[in-house]
Structure 1
Amino acid sequence: MSTRYIQAAVSDEDHDLFTRFAGSRRITLSDLVEVAVKQYIKLERKEEERIQAETLSGIIEHNN
């Protein structure tokens, strides 16, 4: 069974996500999925932090 590869070049913006794939090289679809999942988790955490900050701000305003 052969493995399919996707040729990808690393942009400056995504450099931290692709540090183990420095420069341009062949990476597997599995590698890309791993990076996408990490990016999704990162975005979810930012959204949770934003919601917590808004909630805390609302509580402070309500108590004043």
Structure 2
Amino acid sequence: MTFVYDGGTLDEVGTADIPLPPDELRRWAWCTEEQIRERTSELLARRVVAALRAKAEGTVFDR
């Protein structure tokens, strides 16, 4: 199961403070939907895009 949380809007100061747990995350980046599909597995891309659409539509998707 994957959970995606909306952390609100972040500015440069807020993004500078994002911790990178050394054993879990090496880096992060802002990405377009196309870049998400290029950088992640097909399964993860579908989940992230569904989360973005749910946010935009003010709803949830359970699959």
Tell me the TM-score normalised to structure 2 length.
Answer: 0.30
- Radius of gyration: which is bigger? 1
Higher helix proportion? 1
